[in-house]
Amino acid sequence: MATALNNSAPATAEEARADICAALCELAATCQTKPKYYRGALRALATHFGSPYAAIHVAQATSTVDERASSETDNIVIWEPVAEEALLESQAENVPIARLYGIAGTSLQAAVLAAPLCEPPDRPIGALVVVARCDNRPLAKALLGELVALAALTATRARVIEADRASGTGDDTALMHAFVKAVDFESLHDLAFAVTNSLKNKFACDQVTLGQARGARIRVLSISGLDNVYPKSPGVRHIRQAMEECLDEGEAICHQDEDKWSEQSVVTNHCLHRRWHAETGNSPVASLPLRVGNRCVAVVALSRPKQLPFTPGELAEIGQAVAPFGPVMELVAKADRGLVSHATDALKRSLRWLLAPRTYRRKAIAVAILAGIAFFCFGGIGYRITVSSQIAPTEILYFASPYEGTIKACHVDVGDRVEPGQPLYEMDAMELELQRDEFESDLEVLRLRANQALVSGDVKAAALASAEIRVLDARLAITRHNLAEARVQAPCRGTIVAGELSKRIGEAVPLGTPLMELVPEGDWSIELLVPEAVAAELQVGFQGRFACNARPGEPLHFTVTRIRPLPQPRNGKNVFIADATVEDNPAWMRAGMEGVARIDAGTRRVWWVALHRMIDYLRLTFWL
């Protein structure tokens, strides 16, 4: 149900806090049931914060309070979704929440503040949420601290609604003032410093010490009159040990010199207090626990001059005066936690939430998460190197000009597949044919001359003619060889990859000029362009798969056979080229086809595969 509010603010923040605390205590004194009290508290808190929307949810053993409050002039639809979300989250996680929001199209900003409601000893019973006007995070943080304090006061006052209030009026007032003062302190040490010095002046003490309970130990927070506390000093050590004795006993302890016939003795004869009494020159000493429910959260230790011993009435008065600071110290301690403490408390809450009865799904999710973390840290996974690559021929046959001459004809073009014996190109052989005919004619003349010399008996002339015949035979053999090379044929089946001679017909070329290139069929390799960053991970014998851009659906398996030792620049970067042989050589493969290759580089840790690039970047950037 929703209730209309009349938002009005007191003159100062201090007056506002005092008024809301007084209003909550008055509600607790006048309301007969807790549901009625919680509804009234919600309206009071909404008015205090000037909230356009506020809500409270409290689950009790006999009833449930689920109340909403909104101002008449504000639109509930704007704030209800975000406020309800914060309310549920604060109740489920048992943590305070502050979030800043703005309304689109306007300059209006507000903070959604949610705080859990807990009954001592720290038992969550619900949560409350308010929407407060706020335009910055520091203000939101301050408002959240105030709401947390008021939520604690609200839950604490609800416990005494059905009890006798005759003796509780003074306690209510003291607790109210304690919560009001707590909002003004930013840290637990500031609060402890103020408390110790206030108690020292109020009860005429020489020294007042306040310590926080941590398990079975005490951490001394403040000693009246001292700016700093040195835990290892002898005096502080005696006080701390006496306070820990009080923590163990769970009740007030006093030691002082008394007459044997004293009728109202307060001496408890505890060992550590007796030693502390002796160390102070037999001054009266006492320790009192500060409780929240059944838990002792702090201990206050007092020492007085010899002429002012403690009386039972004074100890009761001191106990009544310091009792309200137990919940306040716990509240400020939670707000003053560091990052490690926050993380530890969050972990404890998570474990309690996880280990709650009948949370099988939560446990299954937690086990799955832990298994995933373990696999990430210790599991292995295949590491694959992805690189650019291209198809290259394993062997290339080069055809050059057999002699100095002109190109007569070309029978194939680049990209044509050729068969053994198929003509490729022809050189002009007319000059060679004429030269051959000339050499043959000259050879016949020389043979006739040699025969005549032999018949005439001219041995010298016959020998000279024989030598000239041998020279002409050699020249004729060269000419005939060149004539045989004038028509070039394919020596094997393959593909022409270079040499467009159809546009060079009639061109004169010198001896040995490259004219055409032929790649034998079925003899392809893959060139892997490996970046420097992963070149050290690559080894000969690694296997992988190559996907060509032309046929990505037909990957080819390959094996790395050679890694070239020197890098080469490609596309502005240095890469190491690795040669790999493929198992199959499909007909569609062509030299120069590009694609992507994935190389299997063995098994590595999952975390290394996921993070090694970032780790290498950080090492290079920050010289780690």
Q: How many domains does the chain have?
A: 4
DSSP 591: T
Statement to judge: residues 542 and 613 lie in one domain: yes
Tell me the C-alpha distance between 288 and 318, whole Å: 8
Of 151-165, 499-513, 570-584, the poorest mean pLDDT is in 151-165
In a domain, 392, yes or no: no
Using omega within 30 degrees of 0 as the cis cutoff, is the peptide bond preceding 324 cis? no
High-pLDDT (> 90) share of the chain, % = 24
Q: Which of 505, 509, 530, 507 is nearest to 580 (CA)?
A: 530
Is the CA virtual torsion 199, 203, 204, 206 positive or negative?
Answer: negative
- Does the structure show a pLDDT above 90 at 450? no
Q: Which domain does 450 fall in, by range? A: 397-518
DSSP 44: H
Statement to judge: residues 192 and 60 lie in one domain: no
Structure tokens at 400: 């050059």
Q: To the nearest whole number, what is the mean pLDDT of the chain?
A: 84
Give, in order, the Cα–Cα distances in Å from 329 to each of 180, 191, 297, 323, 602.
13, 8, 8, 11, 58
pLDDT band at residue 171 under the 50/70/90 scheme: low
> Which CATH number does the domain housing residue 246 bear?
3.30.450.40
Tell me the C-alpha distance between 353 and 355, whole Å: 6
Tell me the C-alpha distance between 550 and 554, whole Å: 9
In a domain, 591, yes or no: yes
Pairing of the two strands 64-70 and 2-3? parallel
- Angle, vertex CA 291, rays to CA 200 and CA 335, nearest 5: 85
The phi and psi torsions of 599 (rounded to 5 degrees) equal -105, 130
Statement to judge: residues 585 and 542 lie in one domain: yes
Q: Please tell me the number of Cα atoms within 13 Å of 159 on its side-chain side.
A: 15
Q: Which of 3, 328, 23 is nearest to 190 (CA)?
A: 328
For residues 70 and 76, is the Cβ–Cβ distance under 8 A?
Answer: yes
Tell me the C-alpha distance between 595 and 558, whole Å: 13
Statement to judge: residues 192 and 318 lie in one domain: yes
Statement to judge: residues 141 and 191 lie in one domain: no
Residues 287-298: tens digit of each pLDDT: 999 988 788 999
Residues 414-430: tens digit of each pLDDT: 888 889 989 999 988 88
Tell me the C-alpha distance between 618 and 602, whole Å: 25
Q: Which of 390, 386, 384 is nearest to 530 (CA)?
A: 386
Tell me the C-alpha distance between 390 and 89, whole Å: 57
Residues 3-34: tens digit of each pLDDT: 444 444 445 677 777 888 888 888 888 887 88
Average pLDDT over residues 453-476: 85
Tell me the C-alpha distance between 609 and 624, whole Å: 19
High-pLDDT (> 70) share of the chain, % = 90
Average pLDDT over residues 587-602: 88
**DSSP helix/strand/coil, 149:** helix
In 215-336, the DSSP E strands lie at: 217-223, 253-255, 285-292, 295-303
**Residue spans of alpha helices (H) in 267-426:** 271-279, 312-322, 325-335, 339-354, 360-378
Domain finish residue from 294, 323, 340:
340
pLDDT at 261: 54
Pairing of the two strands 594-605 and 543-548? antiparallel
Tell me the C-alpha distance between 75 and 67, whole Å: 17
pLDDT band at residue 164 under the 50/70/90 scheme: very low
pLDDT band at residue 316 under the 50/70/90 scheme: confident
**DSSP helix/strand/coil, 441:** helix
pLDDT at 34: 83
pLDDT band at residue 113 under the 50/70/90 scheme: very high
Q: Which of 300, 317, 195, 312 is nearest to 256 (CA)?
A: 312
Q: Which of 408, 587, 402 is nearest to 495 (CA)?
A: 587
In a domain, 527, yes or no: yes
Tell me the C-alpha distance between 497 and 490, whole Å: 13
In a domain, 478, yes or no: yes
Q: Which of 136, 156, 180, 142 is nearest to 38 (CA)?
A: 156
Give, in order, the Cα–Cα distances in Å from 335 to each of 57, 88, 182, 487.
23, 21, 11, 97
Statement to judge: residues 264 and 336 lie in one domain: yes
Tell me the C-alpha distance between 323 and 156, whole Å: 13
Residues 36-89: tens digit of each pLDDT: 888 899 999 988 888 888 999 988 655 678 888 887 555 567 788 888 889 988
> Which CATH number does the domain housing residue 597 bear?
2.40.30.170
In a domain, 108, yes or no: yes
**DSSP helix/strand/coil, 34:** helix
The phi and psi torsions of 575 (rounded to 5 degrees) equal -135, 150
Of 54-68, 82-96, 242-256, 381-395, the poorest mean pLDDT is in 54-68
Domain finish residue from 518, 534, 564:
518
In a domain, 192, yes or no: yes
Statement to judge: residues 75 and 153 lie in one domain: yes
Residues 521-578: tens digit of each pLDDT: 767 889 999 998 888 889 999 999 999 998 999 999 999 999 998 989 988 889 999 9
Is the CA virtual torsion 9, 155, 97, 332 positive or negative?
Answer: positive
> Which CATH number does the domain housing residue 435 bear?
2.40.50.100
Tell me the C-alpha distance between 430 and 408, whole Å: 10
Statement to judge: residues 7 and 134 lie in one domain: yes
Domain finish residue from 486, 518, 550:
518
Statement to judge: residues 451 and 430 lie in one domain: yes
Statement to judge: residues 293 and 408 lie in one domain: no
Statement to judge: residues 282 and 331 lie in one domain: yes
Is the pTM of the predicted complex or chain greater than 0.95?
A: no
- Crossing angle for the helix pair 169-182 and 137-158, nearest 10 degrees? 170
pLDDT at 308: 85
Statement to judge: residues 29 and 118 lie in one domain: yes
Cβ atoms within 10 Å, residue 193: 20
Sheet holding 2-3, edge to edge: 2-3, 64-70, 53-59, 123-133, 109-119, 97-102
Average pLDDT over residues 596-613: 92
Residues 297-310: tens digit of each pLDDT: 999 999 998 888 88
In a domain, 135, yes or no: yes
In a domain, 388, yes or no: no
Tell me the C-alpha distance between 219 and 198, whole Å: 20
- Angle, vertex CA 107, rays to CA 103 and CA 112, nearest 5: 50
pLDDT at 254: 92
Of 160-174, 239-253, 477-491, the poorest mean pLDDT is in 160-174
Structure tokens at 260: 């044997």
- Does the structure show a pLDDT above 60 at 602? yes
Structure tokens at 482: 């060149």
pLDDT at 103: 72
